[in-house]
């Protein structure tokens, strides 16, 4: 039983539930997404972006980015377009960040030549400050998916609520699923935060985020428990079971509309 004591950062009582797999299967990832299905989702995303570009000038839009899997996909989709001036983005700094996430944000900023501005404080205050610094901005891209908390009734373009800054929110990935996100990341061989390879499926504050117990498995070859990577999670509904706050990484619906895209 000594190896059970080596399980990192699980919620109390998780081991006792015997939530781990007994062995590693040859291939336990979700069903491979067909190229046609992913192409259809990508078309929806590009159509939403094209619609936004028809209404707003490039310098009137920015991206909300914080290194999570969803906004990493969105950043890559947006980066395939030629932005003049370069695409701008904001990042609202976590009060208790993972070092690995901060490092990944820095690497993305360099790789995509992203004009990223970091802000401290609450999300609403950060957005207000960003718009004060760049008053020409009228719209923001966000990586919300319909399965995210508070996002079930979203439309691909929605204005902020009345007590938020006057800003149009654009959700190109609204119809994407958890498995769509991973199909795109892996199919395009994109870099992503390495925590996702260590059993984390949803990232928030360090103090309230743990490895996902659904990915706990016993490795016969290593004779110990390990955590499988996030892309091997079979049930996308379990994406946020590793969150102490119940998985509401975007908070209430009002906050979700301008979410930190993990």
How does pLDDT run across 123-168, given as a tens digit for each residue? 889 999 999 999 999 999 999 999 999 999 999 999 998 889 999 9
More confident of the two residues 195 and 8: 195
Q: What is the pLDDT of residues 189-231, one digit of tens each?
A: 999 999 999 999 999 999 999 999 999 999 999 999 999 999 9
Q: What is the pLDDT of residues 156-199, one digit of tens each?
A: 999 998 889 999 999 999 999 999 999 999 999 999 999 999 99
The answer on pLDDT for 75 being more than 90 is yes
Report CA 102 to chain centroid distance, whole Å: 14
pLDDT score, position 14: 42
All domains in the chain, ordered by first residue: 35-178 (3.40.50.620)
pLDDT score, position 70: 98
pLDDT score, position 82: 86
φ, ψ for residue 26, nearest 5 deg: -65, -40
pLDDT score, position 80: 95
The answer on pLDDT for 61 being more than 90 is yes
> What average pLDDT does the segment 28-43 reach?
75
Confidence label for 245 from pLDDT (cuts 50, 70 and 90): low
Q: Count of residues for the chain?
A: 262
pLDDT score, position 26: 38
pLDDT score, position 92: 93
Q: What is the pTM of this model?
A: 0.83
Count of C-beta atoms within a 10 Å radius of residue 136: 12
């Amino acid at each position: 039983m000594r190896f059970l004591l080596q399980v990192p950062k699980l919620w109390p009582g998780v081991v006792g539930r015997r939530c781990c797999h007994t062995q590693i299967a040859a291939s336990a990832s979700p069903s491979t997404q067909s190229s046609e299905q992913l192409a259809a989702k990508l078309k929806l995303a590009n159509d939403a972006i094209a619609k936004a570009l028809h209404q707003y000038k490039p310098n009137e839009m920015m991206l909300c980015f914080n290194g999570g899997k969803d906004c990493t996909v969105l950043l890559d989709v947006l980066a395939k377009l030629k932005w003049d001036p370069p695409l701008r983005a904001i990042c609202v700094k976590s009060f208790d960040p993972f070092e690995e996430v901060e490092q990944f944000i820095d690497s993305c900023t360099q790789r995509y030549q992203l004009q990223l501005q970091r802000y401290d404080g609450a999300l609403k205050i950060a957005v207000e400050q960003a718009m004060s610094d760049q008053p020409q901005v009228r719209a923001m891209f966000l990586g919300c998916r319909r399965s995210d908390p508070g996002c079930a009734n979203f439309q691909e373009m929605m204005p902020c609520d009345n007590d938020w800054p006057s800003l149009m929110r654009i959700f190109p990935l609204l119809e994407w699923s958890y498995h769509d996100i991973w199909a795109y990341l892996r199919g395009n061989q994109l870099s992503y935060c390495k925590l996702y390879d260590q059993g984390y499926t949803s990232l928030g504050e360090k103090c309230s985020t743990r490895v996902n117990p659904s990915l706990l498995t016993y490795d016969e070859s290593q004779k110990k428990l390990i955590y499988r990577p996030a892309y091997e999670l079979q049930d996308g509904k379990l994406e946020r079971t590793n969150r102490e706050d119940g998985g509401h990484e975007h908070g209430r619906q009002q906050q979700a509309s301008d979410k930190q895209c993990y």
